[in-house]
Amino acid sequence: MFKKLKEINKRPEPFQYYTAEELWTNEHTAQQMLEYHLNESVDLSSRNRDFIERSVDWIVSHFEINKEARVADFGCGPGLYAHRLAEKSAQVTGIDFSLNSLEFAKNFAEQKGLKIDYIQANYLDFETDNKFDLIIMIMCDFSALSPKQRKILLAKFQKLLKPGGTVLLDVHSINHFNSRKEAAIYELNQLNGFWSPDDYYCYVNTFKYENEKILLDKYTIIEESRERVVYNWLQCFTKETLVNEFEENGFSVEAVYSDVAGKEFDPGSMEIAIEVKK
């Protein structure tokens, strides 16, 4: 038992393990994630409805979205941004890992008579001959990627954008990092049964990596018949480190905001949004 507890509480190296597939391909957790996406009152898997609508209105106005505009939504989930942009006449492609979320998005688009190209793929592997005027990546997905993965993604953005095309995305700020504390908790059916329809015990270890400004929530889920570990990594940025990362990968930084609704940058914000051009 001592060895098991030692293993559970062991701190891995930054981004040593990557388990995103567990969230998006496990039938139970994928359904739970979809329910969080569709809960309009909370900002857990998606922004709340009021914010999404303000954000879309700003994106449409700021980037002059019209029927000629090609937009790619990386990590589109159930299409909360994609379908609203399509309603504004944009030609939208949505890419997501979760088949469950995409089935919802496709059904919704069909009911509304919207033509949206939804593609089930890990966006790190996504390929197309299409070129886009605007790529969005919202809900701090960029923060969940390792430095190597982010470099792959930024090279992909360069390839997929039209000349002068734009990327808009958000990340967790250094203030989010500073607000979190290291912790270890143990709970029966943690997150109200999020991880399994059957009873389970879950150990949650929160680790902070001060030098790298990385957070890790490590979930060790123990059921009667199996045991698994899920790693939720979050890279946090200052305005300077975020700008530098994009400039080092060949982008021109146009603006930095506090969110993807165009709010003026506030050094105290928990998130940072960035607008860059190819």
pLDDT given for residue 41 in this prediction? 58
Whether pTM > 0.75 for this model: the answer is yes
pLDDT given for residue 37 in this prediction? 64
- Beta-bridged to residue 138, according to DSSP, are none
CATH 3.40.50.150 domain range(s) in the chain: 27-172+237-277
Q: How far is CA 49 from CA 37, 40, 273, in A?
A: 10, 5, 19
**Long-range pairs, 64-70, Cβ under 8 A, ≥24:** 65/89, 65/90, 65/134, 66/90, 67/91, 69/133, 69/134, 70/130, 70/131, 70/132, 70/133, 70/134, 70/162
d(CA 34, CA 77): 8
pLDDT given for residue 254 in this prediction? 98
144 CB-contact burial (10 Å; exposed 0-12 / middle 13-18 / buried 19+): buried
pLDDT given for residue 32 in this prediction? 77
Closest to 116 (Cα-Cα) out of 61, 77, 155: 77
pLDDT in tens, the chain (278 residues): 899 899 999 999 999 999 987 777 778 887 877 676 666 655 554 568 899 999 999 999 999 999 999 999 999 999 999 999 999 999 999 999 988 899 999 999 999 999 999 999 999 999 999 999 999 999 999 999 999 999 999 999 999 999 999 999 999 999 999 999 999 999 999 999 999 999 999 999 999 999 999 999 999 999 999 999 999 999 999 999 999 999 999 999 999 999 999 999 999 999 999 999 99
pLDDT given for residue 35 in this prediction? 74
d(CA 202, CA 21): 19
pLDDT given for residue 28 in this prediction? 84
Q: Which CATH class is domain 27-172+237-277?
A: alpha beta
pLDDT given for residue 238 in this prediction? 98
Closest to 96 (Cα-Cα) out of 112, 113, 81: 81
pLDDT given for residue 36 in this prediction? 66
Neighbouring C-beta atoms of residue 192, cutoff 10 Å: 7
